[in-house]
């Protein structure tokens, strides 16, 4: 039997692209930016991190996953000079969750005032079935 991919609509409304694709039990999320549902973007990088991760969580849930099922993150920053503030906001958001592998790179720029984008791959599954048991 051939498995087919499932495209998941963007959880914040119509976009010209899917919010995620699911194939073989893996979720491939679209890049998550720090835009709120109303289109506004926070000014400070720590708040941009929080909003981008909230958007990621919404996308993963819509596709059948969660932050706990993350397999890999790639984070694009406009300025690696903001790494320490970004990293602390990241750690705060993932408190109590095993951290997935992550790559962080600087990019030349983003549209508007966005300074971060997060690309993620996750497994399909619930938080309960993917908790690490000690």
Over the stretch 5-57, which tens digit does the pLDDT of each residue have?
A: 999 988 888 888 899 999 999 999 999 999 999 999 999 999 999 999 999 99
Is residue 127 very low, low, confident or very high in pLDDT (cuts 50, 70, 90)? low
Whether this model's pTM surpasses 0.85 = yes
Is residue 134 very low, low, confident or very high in pLDDT (cuts 50, 70, 90)? very low
What is residue 109's predicted lDDT score, i.e. its pLDDT? 84
- The residue with greater pLDDT, 90 or 1, is 90
Strand runs (DSSP E) across the chain, as ranges? Answer: 6-8, 20-23, 26-29, 70-77, 102-106, 116-123
What is residue 2's predicted lDDT score, i.e. its pLDDT? 62
Reading phi first (left if > 0) and then psi (alpha if -120 to 50, else beta), residue 62 is in alpha
- Residue 113: DSSP 8-state: T
- Residue 128: DSSP 8-state: G
């Amino acid at each position: 039997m051939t498995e087919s991919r499932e495209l998941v609509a963007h959880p914040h409304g119509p976009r010209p692209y899917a919010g995620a694709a699911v194939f073989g039990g893996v979720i491939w999320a679209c890049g998550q930016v720090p835009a709120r549902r109303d289109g506004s973007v926070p000014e400070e990088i720590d708040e941009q991190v929080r909003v981008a991760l909230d958007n990621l969580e919404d996308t993963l849930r819509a596709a059948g996953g969660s932050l706990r099922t993350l397999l890999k993150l790639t984070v694009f920053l406009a300025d690696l000079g903001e790494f320490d503030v970004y990293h602390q906001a990241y750690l705060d958001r993932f408190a109590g969750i095993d951290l997935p592998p992550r790559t962080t790179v600087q990019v030349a720029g983003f549209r508007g005032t966005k300074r971060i984008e997060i690309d993620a791959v996750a497994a399909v599954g619930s938080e309960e079935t993917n908790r690490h048991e000690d």
